[in-house]
Amino acid sequence: MEKVYANAAEALNDVFDGATAMFGGFGLCGIPENCIAALVQKGTKNLTCIANNAGVDDFGIGLLLQRKLVRKMISSYVGENAEFERQLLSGELEVELIPQGTLATRCMAAGYGMPAIFTPAGVGTEVAIGKEVRTFNNKEYLLEYAFEADFAFIKAWKGDTEGNLIFKETARNFNPLMAMAGKITIAEVEELVPAGELDPNQVHTPGIYVHRIFKGINYEKRIEQRTVRKLS
């Protein structure tokens, strides 16, 4: 199976309107910048986006929101995006906010082939409205279903032509979980090497989970909240 594609546009050529897609990353770290840019260029609309966050106004998923390509946002944190807030309050955007651990575990469940999980997070809150609650060992747990994503867009530091991936530092966040969970997983990497060049002991995501891979370009690597210490 040939997994290497020339660029993001080629790798995402069959992403369709109305698709459900996972976007790796935490804040602005480790996000699939090239995949997002390709979706913007392609104009793919009515997307359901599963991500830790919604980016900022002019970067990350915020670029998709700017062009009103997102129908529904499923995430755990959305506090840095004014356009997201505007679309939510105006009723233009459907939003599902879920605890961050639940988000991660629903990704993991999808990757493991599990249909659902039980979690104590959200019991007794608005998160639990309309959902099944069961008691185990005198403690209540909320039933949450595994995600069903048509695509998973992943960003890694280094990968090989078989799709094996290595993530660097904080970018090893939601990316490995989402890589397992997409029906079609598309990975962009900063460095693409021939198969056999990566140390197997360093691989975080085995190539069996990755269907397409390409070398990304022009990474910005922004800092979402820059905090500095005052000079004494």
Give the pLDDT score at 1. 76
Residue 36 in any domain: the answer is yes
pLDDT tier, 220 (very low <50, low <70, confident <90, very high otherwise): confident
Q: How many separate domains does the chain show?
A: 1
| 121 domain residue, yes or no | no
For 54-58, 78-82, 169-173, 200-204, which range has the lowest pLDDT when averaged over its residues?
78-82
In angstroms, the CA 34 to CA 37 distance is 5
Q: For residue 59, which of 195, 214, 218 has the smallest C-alpha distance?
A: 218
| 218 against 3, higher pLDDT | 3
Q: What is the pLDDT of residues 183-199, one digit of tens each?
A: 999 999 999 999 999 99
- Please write the tens of the pLDDT for every residue from 44-60: 999 999 999 888 888 99
In a 13 Å sphere around the CA of 208, the CA atoms on its Cβ side amount to 2
Q: For position 156, what pLDDT does the model report?
A: 97
Of the pLDDT bands very low, low, confident and very high (cuts 50, 70, 90), residue 231 is: confident
pLDDT digits (tens, 9 = 90+) for 59-82: 999 999 999 999 999 999 887 788
Answer yes or no: is pLDDT of 225 > 90.
no
Question: CATH number of the domain that 165 lies in?
Answer: 3.40.1080.10
Give pLDDT tens digits for 19-28: 999 999 998 8
| pLDDT higher than 90, residue 11 | yes
Tell me if 191 is assigned to some domain. Answer: yes
Structural domain that includes position 78? 8-114+146-215
Q: Is residue 132 part of a domain?
A: no
Residue 122 lies in a domain: no
- The residues near 86 (Cβ < 8 Å, ≥ 6 apart) are none
pLDDT at 78: 80
Question: Is the residue at 224 inside a domain?
Answer: no
229 part of a folded domain: no
Task: Please compute the mean of the pLDDT values over residues 126-139 and round it to a whole number.
Answer: 94
Q: Is 136 a domain residue?
A: no
